[in-house]
Structures are given as C-alpha cells and as structure tokens.
A = this chain, B = another copy of it.
Amino acid sequence: MIADKMKALVKNSSAIRAMFEEGKIMAAKYGAENVYDFSLGNPNVPAPVQVKEAIIEEAEKEDPIVLHGYMSNAGYEDVRQAVAESINKKFDTAFSAKNIIMTVGAAGGLNVILKTLLNPGDEVIAIAPYFGEYNSYVSNFDGKLVVVSPNTETFQPNLTELEEKLTARTKAVIVNSPNNPTGVIYSEETIQAMAEILRKKQKEFGTDIYLISDEPYRELAYDGAEVPYLTKYYENAIIGYSFSKSLSLPGERIGYLVIPGEAADSEDVISAAGTATRILGYVNAPSLMQKAVAKCLDAQADVPYYDRNREDLYNGLKEMGFECIKPQGAFYLFMKSPVADEKVFCEAAKKQHILIVPGSSFACPGYVRIAYCVAHETIINSMPGFKALAEEFLG
C-alpha cells in the first residue's frame, strides 16, 4: 500500500504533466505535426552552442575523477564563485561563492530552502496565479500554503490581501516573475511596496519573513523590460534560479540558490541549505552540468525566437476575439476562458488537438495557460483549431 498522502497526490497529480503524457500518446496516434502541445514549459529552442562545446570540452579535458566525482554538497567552489561573479556583474551585487548553493534545478532549490526554513505548520504565501507545484513543495515539509487571490486586472500581486494574510507564522513568501502562468513581470513599484509591507510585518511580529524569488524565466523578458533583482530591495530575499529555460536545459536539473549575507541568520541558512541538499537525497547538483553552465554564464537565451511566437500567438488569438494578457516575459500566455469552467474549454481544445492547461492548476480558474515555447509552425498550424474554438465559444 502506498502512503495515504501519495494517494491524493497521485490522484490530483499535475494536470500539466498529465497533459504532457497525453500529448505524447496523441502525437503517436495522429502524428506529432498534427498535435499542438502547449502543455509544458519544455523549450523547443535548442541549448546555445556554447553548452555543447562546454560539455565536450569538459569531457575531453577535465580529469574524470574531478568531473564526475563528489564535491561539497553545495557545489564546486570554482563554479559557485563564477556564478557569484556573474550575478555581481549583471546586478551590481557583492556575492561570493559562499552565497551560492548549486541545486538540482529550481525545483531542487525551492525544496532545499523550504526544508531549511520550515517548521511544521509554518505558513508560506503564494500569490495566485502561481505554479501549482508550490503546493507539493510546501507540503513536503508540512508547511501550510496560504494563497493570495489573483488580481485579474493587472496580474500584479494583490498587496492589500498579501498584507492581510501575513501572520506571525508566515515564514516565507514565494514570488515568481516573470510569472508562470501569466507572463507578467512584477514591476519595481510592486517589489518596493511588497518589501515595505514585509518589513513592517516583520517588525510588528518580531519575526523574519523570507521572500523567495523563483526565477527560471529571469532572462526571458520582452521589449527591453527590466526584471528587478530582489536582493537589492529586501534584505531577506533568497533567489532560486534555474538554467532550464535560459539555456534550454530542463532535463539536466541544474540551478542555484542565492542566500545573501544580509539575510537573517544567513550563515545558519547557508550551512543548513548545504545539509538539506544532502539529506533530501540530491547530494549535489549534477557535476558535469555544474562545470558546463559555469562556462555558459554569458550565453544568451534565444529571446527573439520566443518573442515571435508571443506576437503571433497573442495577435492571432486577439484577432479571433479571445481575451488575453500580453506576456511581458516567460513563454506563457494566459487567456481568459470563454466559458466560466475553463476545463470545458480545455476539453474542447483537445478535440482540435490543442493541449492547454486549465487555470485552476494555478489557483486561477476561468483562465487557460498556453505555453508557447514551441516550434513557430506549431503556433501557425494551431490557428485553424483556435479559430474553430472561437466560432464554437464566441459565436
């Protein structure tokens, strides 16, 4: 018999992943070119050529005992230093190797920091719409996820509600900008206002409230939009980064945490995060991939590729009469479902071989997420299907 907790988790398993699995079955049945799979944030842009070069160079030149061996649980010292310097150069910060913990992707990083911080019953706030996996990550450590409801006007966080929901048990707030699923970038004003609220509440409760920034989409920003670097606005900010999207390496599971020296109990948090990396069974981030990404810290994500998808998808859908938020970043378009129960719409889309994810997976029912990290022809070829849906639902 499997664990009781797992029974519910398997049953309510990720709608996104279920769709991804279904997409593979449909592709086998109808031909991959006849299925428009917008379900998963799995980049269709190949990794930059530097990644391939770095992998081959490391395999050919590095001592295999070093390249494939154990290092400190937090990662290779030289890799961590290179990451710190790269952040410092980009954001005018002052990190060093000790502030960086290499992680098994952002998912690994979030689990490490939550394991590090949470006592059972501690509250973690997420701002809807949010990546549904946060539910599981917080539950892994018996924390309580508290949801700030979506502001469907702008999809900037509802700060009044955030303030109301902060309590003496709030250990952390998770933010994700550019946002999955909306593509919205939290503005500098938002971040400044949020930091002020957090500081006020810390003072009121005599607690530390960590602001955990989940930022796999940092580099994917359009029209020159700026994504504020949170450690510059709030002392207790912790960054969870992933190379999954920027370097198109989601399967490799490589990312890092940044734990600034200014954060409360910084040394304890850093030390515990290394221990948590080991105890959770990650042991360390994959070694060859650590060395490879350290050589690709200046590689560019193919933003123009996603931008073309964004424009063509957004304009196409708008023209048909769908109500969409124009994404400022990431590679997701959040569209209002033309029927209140967006699951009905997703099922109808499936009949057009279009796979999209219900907004309820992101605590925002009534919307659907369209992941446009696909081939450009998928966008183009899906248009007749969306057109048929428009005719069916918008009349």
A contacts, CB < 8 Å to B:
1-7, 9-10, 13-14, 17, 20-21, 24, 40, 42-47, 51-52, 55-56, 59-60, 63-65, 67-73, 104-105, 107-112, 115-119, 122, 133, 136-137, 140-141, 208, 248-253, 264-265, 268-269, 271-272, 275-276, 278-289
The secondary-structure label for the interface of chain A is helix
**Inter-chain contact B248/A68, CB cutoff 8 Å:** yes
Docked Cα-Cα span, A137 to B107, in Å, equals 18
CB neighbours (8 Å) of A112 from chain B are 281
Known: A56-B59, A70-B42, A280-B140. A1 touches B287 (CB 8 A): no
**Inter-chain contact A64/B40, CB cutoff 8 Å:** no
Docked Cα-Cα span, A69 to B70, in Å, equals 25
How many copies of this chain are found per oligomer?
Answer: 2
Least CB distance from A199 to B in Å reads: 17
Apart from A46-B64, A107-B283: 11 A-B pairs, beta carbons within 8 A: A3-B141, A6-B116, A43-B69, A51-B68, A52-B59, A55-B56, A56-B60, A105-B281, A136-B279, A253-B286, A288-B289
Least CB distance from A228 to B in Å reads: 26
Looking across the interface, which residue of chain B has its beta carbon closest to that of A110? Answer: B281
Docked Cα-Cα span, A250 to B69, in Å, equals 5
Looking across the interface, which residue of chain B has its beta carbon closest to that of A41? Answer: B70
CB neighbours (8 Å) of A56 from chain B are 55-56, 59-60
Least CB distance from A306 to B in Å reads: 14
Docked Cα-Cα span, A278 to B281, in Å, equals 13
CB neighbours (8 Å) of A111 from chain B are 280-281
**Inter-chain contact B269/A282, CB cutoff 8 Å:** no
